[in-house]
């Protein structure tokens, strides 16, 4: 059986706090010195700069001893989408993308205005809010998008459209809000099972 691939944790704006599932997963993985894990370290957590974040992803991927799995949440999903667009043939095993925000939505943080809806490599841009989803793109790496039905930062339809633009598989998880600490999911064991299922396909 193949040993687990290293992880690169890509949080959203303001980083993920100690009680966030990303941090809890990272702590658990870090306690196991056999399996690598690293979190991106941009300098612009509170006023995110897309170039800074994509550079941070590149550094974290380069620090992995083999192609890693990216685990992104919220704004981190948009950062990964931009990085994939620019990276071409991405040196990763895959990306697990959770609860993307909608840059055109009313709840989107003004500090993150530089980020745009996902397009994928060679894909048409996502249609404006209210328009239909675009056709699926060919992904540059295996991608899985986890979508909540009542995310205050992105409608489920928009999230599914983002997944289509990236060529990502979609998993709908019901009403989990923004899939964060406020969702009351703790370490999110159901999400960890989804990740493990995804990793088995890589």
Q: Which pLDDT score, from 0 to 100, does residue 171 have?
A: 98
Per-residue pLDDT, 139: 75
Q: pLDDT at position 128, please?
A: 44
Residue 87's pLDDT is what?
A: 79
Q: How far apart are CA 175 and CA 163, in angstroms?
A: 18
Give me the pLDDT at residue 137, please: 57
pLDDT for 119 equals 82
pLDDT (tens digit, 0 to 9) for every residue of the chain, 202 residues total? 567 899 999 999 999 999 999 999 999 999 886 779 999 999 999 999 999 999 999 999 999 999 999 999 999 999 999 999 987 667 999 999 999 999 999 999 999 999 999 985 533 344 444 433 334 456 789 999 999 999 999 999 999 999 999 999 999 999 999 999 999 999 999 999 999 999 999 9
> Distance between CA atoms of 102 and 105, rounded to whole angstroms?
5
Answer for the pair 90, 65: CB distance below 8 angstroms, yes or no.
Answer: no
Residue located via tokens 């939505």? 105
Distance CA 17, CA 36 (A): 20
Partners of 38 in beta bridges: 8
Domains in the chain: ranges and CATH:
7-200 (3.40.50.1820)
Two structure tokens written together for 126: 């996502």
145 phi and psi angles, rounded to 5 deg = -105, 125
Q: What is the dihedral of CA 110, 41, 85, 172, to 10 degrees?
A: -70
Predicted pLDDT of residue 4? 83
d(CA 170, CA 54): 23
d(CA 68, CA 124): 27
Contacts 24+ apart (CB under 8 A), 39-46: 39/8, 39/9, 39/10, 39/11, 40/8, 40/9, 40/10, 40/11, 40/76, 40/79, 45/13, 45/14, 45/15, 46/13, 46/14, 46/111
Helix (H) or strand (E) holding 80: helix 75-87
Q: Which two tokens stand for residue 61?
A: 């991927």
- What DSSP designation does 152 have? T
The DSSP bridge pattern shows strands 143-147 and 69-73 to be: unpaired
Query: 188: exposed, middle or buried (C-beta count within 10 Å: 0-12, 13-18, 19+)?
Result: buried
């Amino acid at each position: 059986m193949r040993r687990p691939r290293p992880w690169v944790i890509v949080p959203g704006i303001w980083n993920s706090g100690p009680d966030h599932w990303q941090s809890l997963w990272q702590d658990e993985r870090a306690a196991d010195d056999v399996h690598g894990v690293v979190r991106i370290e941009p300098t612009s957590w509170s006023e995110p700069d897309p170039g800074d974040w994509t550079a941070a992803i590149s550094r974290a991927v380069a620090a992995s001893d083999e192609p890693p799995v990216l685990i992104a949440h919220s704004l981190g999903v948009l950062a990964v989408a931009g990085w994939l667009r620019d990276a071409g043939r991405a040196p990763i095993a895959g990306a697990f993308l959770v609860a993307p925000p909608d840059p055109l939505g009313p709840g989107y943080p003004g500090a993150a205005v530089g980020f745009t809806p996902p397009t994928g490599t060679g894909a048409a841009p996502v249609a404006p809010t209210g328009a239909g989803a675009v056709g699926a793109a060919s992904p540059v790496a295996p991608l899985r998008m986890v979508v909540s039905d009542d995310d205050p930062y992105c409608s489920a339809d928009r999230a599914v459209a983002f997944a289509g633009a990236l060529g990502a598989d979609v998993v709908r998880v019901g009403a989990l809000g923004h899939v964060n600490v406020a969702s009351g999911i703790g370490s999110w064991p159901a999400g960890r099972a989804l990740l493990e299922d995804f990793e088995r396909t890589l």
